[in-house]
Amino acid sequence: MTAKKKINVEHIDLPSKPPLLRFTIVDLSGLTVYHRSYVSEVLDEVLFSGFSAAMIAFSKELGTQLYCIQMEGVNYYFKTKEDFIFVGGFYPRVRSTSAKRFLRLVDNIINWGELIGYLNKAIYFQTEEFHEEVEQIILEFQIRFKHLIREE
């Protein structure tokens, strides 16, 4: 993982309705390995992780790849890599190119070579280093796209 200049959050006015509503990393068996929500959570993350893994498996059965679904006014974008599924739930005004870029940025901070050495790969996503880097990416995304949300 690379060192990067951190944003000081004390002087930033984040929206009450963030552009990124939730972010989850799921292994292909449906186990949640990382989850972060930025809204009042009404979503069961365990059920959602299982659903995400099933949808990816189903799309592979059909010979296609699942990129996005919309549920309850939230656009969920999917990216698979190795044995993991990255799922971002975005406010609908966030363009697909921006959502996909966010998922790529998270993918890029993962040291896939190091991950191979973990007996339980899910532990990698619980490390302090991973949490700090992914939180920084999320914060930068929320700041960059907060103009999409009208505060009421």
Please tell me the CATH code under which domain 9-146 is placed: 3.30.450.70
Q: What are the structure tokens assigned to 23, written together?
A: 């972010």
Round to whole Å and give the CA distance between 150 and 34.
29
pLDDT of amino acid 16: 60
Average pLDDT per consecutive 10 residues, the chain (152 residues; last block may be shorter): 49 65 94 90 86 95 95 94 95 92 95 87 91 93 78 47
pLDDT of amino acid 26: 96
pLDDT of amino acid 61: 95
Round to whole Å and give the CA distance between 116 and 119.
8
Decide if 44 contacts 28 (C-beta within 8 A): no
pLDDT of amino acid 17: 66
pLDDT of amino acid 9: 45
- Indicate the pTM of the whole model: 0.85
pLDDT of amino acid 10: 47
Phi and psi dihedrals of 28, rounded to 5? -65, -15
pLDDT of amino acid 1: 46
